[in-house]
Amino acid sequence: MPPAHARAVTKRIELALLPAEAAGIEADCFIVVDLLRATTTIATLLGAGAGAVTVASELGAARALAAHRGALLYGEVGGLPPEGFDGGNSPVEARDAPVAGREVVLYTTNGTRALCALATRGAVATGALANASAVARFAASHERVCVVCAGEARGMRFALEDFAAAGGIIRRLVALAPGAEMGDAAGLAIETARYDDWLRAGLPQQTAASARLIAGSEHGQALARLGIAADVSFCVEEDTTGAVPLVMECGDGWATLRAWRPGG
């Protein structure tokens, strides 16, 4: 675990557009991004005081882990919490959930699967816009960083919202390590995180291009149709928590994350 105020040492920044691509990338630090909504929910749960979040790659494993550990069971299938779950995969719900000091087991369709697949690859953390600045500071103390988009369809399809959020994290990391080399995908992702100038009622304004991409993504629109657009709005908010969820333990089909906080 790096010191809280480590000097930026990053020399190379990569972006994997799908989890499978990360298998061919050498890195000291992997940042998994499943913006809508797993990695936003994990950061929010730990920011709300959860002692740990254990992710599971399969639904049955999640139920068994929660029962064995006496943990709260959160997650979703098709966007909604399955029967018997204590809560959903909702950062809005997680923000005010009574989780202080508790372990939460989380199952989701894409993000938890990607995390479990990467859990043994060195330093593995989760990133979102909610903790973008904090996770960039964490990543900056590693020489080779790979941001990994969790994707859709169990990691088989590209997800625009993950790509847009990855750009926000990478932009912050480049500011901390301006001399770092970037892979092609990482360089392209930065373009999605820019701020566009536009005029509204005659006044100069700025708006995040990435926020528009996220709201307009297939997944973002699907969540809106389910009546949970509030989660999408929450997920585009930047730096709502300083918690960096970091994999501390892992096994077959599961990984336990606890909070690493810069300066804490």
What residue segments make up the domains of the chain, in order of their start? 12-260
* Residue 34 to residue 224: CA distance in whole angstroms: 17
Give every CB contact of residue 127 below 8 A, 6+ residues apart in sequence: 31, 32, 33, 39, 135, 147, 165, 166, 169
Name the CATH topology of 12-260: putative 2-phosphosulfolactate phosphatase (3.90.1560)
- Are 167 and 189 in contact by the 8 Å Cβ rule? The answer is yes
pTM, rounded to two decimals:
0.92
Q: At residue 246, what is the residue type? A: L
Model confidence pLDDT, tens digit, residues 60-72 = 999 999 999 999 9
pLDDT digits (tens, 9 = 90+) for 121-177: 999 999 999 999 999 999 999 999 999 999 999 899 999 999 999 999 999 999 999
Peptide bond into 172 cis (omega under 30): no
State how far the alpha carbon of 213 is from the alpha carbons of 51, 88, 99, 149, 252, in Å: 33, 24, 32, 15, 35
Average pLDDT score over residue span 209-236: 92
Residue in 150, 178, 177, 209 with CA at minimum distance from that of residue 15: 150
- Residue 178 CA to residue 136 CA, distance in Å, equals 13
Judged against a pLDDT cut of 60, whether residue 196 lies above it is answered with no
